């Protein structure tokens, strides 16, 4: 029986990918590194430190650990400043409606994001009140595809993984949900999230009634 829902943030509740792209692009331009939208796609759902490693590997660059931390901090400062432009109009279509409906129906709801800036994003959206538990990049050490962030969220909700549905837009996010024994909903194309139990092209299609039809016994 489904009692709780765990939502990824970027790509499910809101589209911060564009702001991440602009911040990585600015850093890369300064460093003389190649960075484009195709490479940005590879950063979907993975942590900041994993992201900079992907960009450096792509550019065949190797730096000291301290230098890598300094550069990822620089990118983060650019990204965090850009979050000030985000407003309660920036939910992905359908996301706010689903969250509202789930709360009305009495389901428990958690966030399970890789982002260390999730609290600020939720604040900008005025979405904090939708969540009983906030699991983010500060909650666990191992990032997706490890299931740790979703296990953290379900433990805090006091639910078993098989009583929870995870919503994810990233391939590695669905990997994490499956590894933890959760039900999964993939948001996006089959090439990316086709291994989820249920898939929708976007959150607009993921209405409460659609979701309910897949998971009610
Ligand atoms: P931060 P999610 C992820 O968010 C993003 O998709 C990913 O591109 C980003 O690198 C990661 O958060 C870490 O974000 O730098 O803010 O800690 O999809 O897990 O909500
Ligand atoms: Mg995501």
Closest residue CA from atom 14 of ligand 1: 115
In 3D, which of 98, 168, 157, 159 has the Cα closest to residue 127?
A: 98
**Helix, strand, coil in percent for the chain, rounding step 5:** 50, 15, 40
Total count of residues recorded for the chain: 217
15 is catalytic: no
Please choose from 6, 8, 9, 10 the residue to mutate so as to test ligand 1's pocket, defined by most ligand atoms within 8 A of CB.
Answer: 10
Q: What is the pLDDT of residues 1-18, one digit of tens each?
A: 999 999 999 999 999 999
Q: What value of ipTM does the predicted structure carry? A: 0.94
pTM, to two decimals: 0.95
Sign of the CA dihedral with 57 first, then 63, 71, and 135 last = positive
50 is catalytic: no
User: Rounded mean pLDDT of 186-196?
Assistant: 97
Distance CA(166)–CA(176), nearest Å, equals 10
In order of 8, 19, 74, 116, 120, the CA distances from 81 in angstroms are 22, 10, 11, 14, 11
- With a 6 Å cutoff on the Cβ, whether 48 touches ligand 1 is yes
- What does the pLDDT read at residue 216? 81
């Amino acid at each position: 029986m489904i009692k709780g829902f765990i939502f990824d943030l970027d790509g499910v509740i809101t589209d911060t990918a564009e702001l991440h792209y602009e911040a990585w692009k600015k850093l890369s331009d300064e460093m003389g590194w190649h960075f484009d939208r195709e490479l940005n796609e590879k950063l979907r759902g993975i942590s900041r430190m994993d992201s900079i490693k992907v960009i450096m590997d792509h550019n065949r660059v190797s730096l000291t650990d301290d230098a890598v931390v300094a550069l990822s901090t620089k990118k983060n400062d650019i990204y965090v400043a850009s979050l000030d432009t985000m407003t309660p109009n920036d939910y992905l279509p359908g996301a706010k409606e689903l969250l509202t409906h789930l709360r009305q129906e009495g389901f428990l709801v958690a966030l399970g994001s890789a982002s260390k800036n999730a609290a600020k994003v939720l604040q900008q959206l005025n979405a904090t009140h939708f969540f009983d538990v906030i699991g983010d990049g500060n909650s666990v050490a191992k990032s997706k595809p490890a299931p740790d962030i979703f296990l953290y969220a379900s433990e805090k909700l006091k639910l078993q993984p098989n009583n929870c549905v995870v919503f994810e837009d990233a391939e590695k996010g669905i990997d994490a949900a499956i590894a933890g024994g959760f039900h999964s909903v993939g948001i996006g194309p089959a090439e990316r999230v086709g291994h989820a139990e249920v898939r929708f092209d976007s959150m607009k299609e993921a209405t409460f009634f659609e979701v309910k039809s897949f998971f009610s016994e």
